[in-house]
């Protein structure tokens, strides 16, 4: 038996009465847990609902190939992000965040930073005071940074200048070039940033979690940021996310 804390990302029915839950944990990454009688039992219902952070007591079973399955023994809610469920748009955005985590998640250990990002983002989404598009941009870009795709944002990769009026970010090489050094500004992977955009992008990629959510930007820069982070996700994950399309429709 093992007790572990996890953020419930998704629930799925398993037969008449049971369900399985997909859980983000700092120790084991993304795991699936079978909840016997979970569709009906009121004992575990709040702590095994999507968008709840819970302490889960798990039973581990290994099959002949050594693959581990997890079964829920008992559970307690630690933090309920209850308000997310009260608003269709917030719920849609939370589902998109979950989908991104599941898509990028591995079974390997050591994803403390992803856990931290997810809990912080869900906290602000639940509170409802931060702009949802900004939360989306922060989450999309920082998640990919945390899983090993953090771009080289120190400066122009050729002349090493820190900033200029026009910097070119290249999605393929994942680094910056200034306007003078940019080899192929017409490349389909090129993305032009002014000083402010570069500052925002650097901030999201590099700042500590205590300050990560403590800023606001103008609608114009939000539009530019959304465009950038959406392209970044599309380039690296090469997948369409139905939950994102749904969120955009609302």
Residues making contact with Zn ion (CB under 5 A): 156, 158-159, 178, 181
Minimum Å gap between C-beta 176 and Zn ion is 8
Residue 168: CB minimum distance to Zn ion, A: 9
Nearer to Zn ion, 36 or 157 (CB): 157
| Shortest Å distance, C-beta 55 to Zn ion | 51
Give the contacts of 194 (CB within 8 A, at least 6 positions apart): 165, 166, 167
Minimum distance from residue 180 beta carbon to Zn ion (Å): 5
Residue closer to Zn ion by CB (options 103, 199) is 199
Closest CB to Zn ion among 6 and 155?
155
Taking the C-alpha atoms of residue 86 and residue 77, their distance in angstroms, rounded to an integer, is: 18
**H-helix or E-strand containing 222?**
helix 219-237
29 touches 109 (CB < 8 A): yes
- Please name the residue that has the structure tokens 């465009």: 227
**136 or 168, CB closer to Zn ion?**
168
Element (H, E) at 55: strand 52-62
């Amino acid at each position: 038996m093992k007790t572990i804390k996890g953020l419930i990302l998704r629930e799925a029915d398993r037969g008449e009465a049971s369900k399985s839950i997909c859980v983000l944990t700092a120790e084991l990454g993304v795991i699936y847990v079978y909840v016997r009688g979970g569709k009906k039992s009121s004992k575990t219902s709040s702590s095994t609902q999507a968008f709840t952070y819970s302490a889960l007591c798990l039973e581990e079973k290994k099959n002949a190939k050594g693959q581990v399955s997890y079964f829920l023994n008992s559970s307690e809610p630690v933090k309920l992000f209850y308000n997310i469920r009260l608003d269709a748009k917030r719920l849609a955005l939370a589902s998109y965040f979950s989908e991104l985590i599941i898509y990028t998640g591995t079974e390997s250990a050591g994803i403390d930073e992803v856990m931290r990002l997810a809990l912080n983002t869900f906290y602000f989404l639940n509170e409802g005071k931060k702009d949802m598009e900004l939360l989306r941009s922060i989450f999309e870009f920082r998640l990919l940074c945390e899983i090993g795709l953090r771009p080289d944002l120190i400066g122009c990769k050729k002349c090493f200048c820190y900033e200029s009026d026009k910097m070119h970010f290249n999605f393929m090489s994942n680094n910056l070039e200034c306007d003078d050094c940019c080899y192929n500004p017409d490349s389909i992977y090129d993305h032009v940033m002014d000083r402010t955009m570069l500052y925002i992008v650097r901030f999201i990629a590099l700042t500590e979690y205590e300050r990560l959510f403590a800023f606001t930007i103008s609608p114009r820069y939000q539009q530019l940021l959304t465009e950038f982070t959406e392209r970044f996700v599309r380039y690296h994950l090469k997948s369409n996310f139905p939950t994102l399309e749904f969120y955009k429709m609302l």
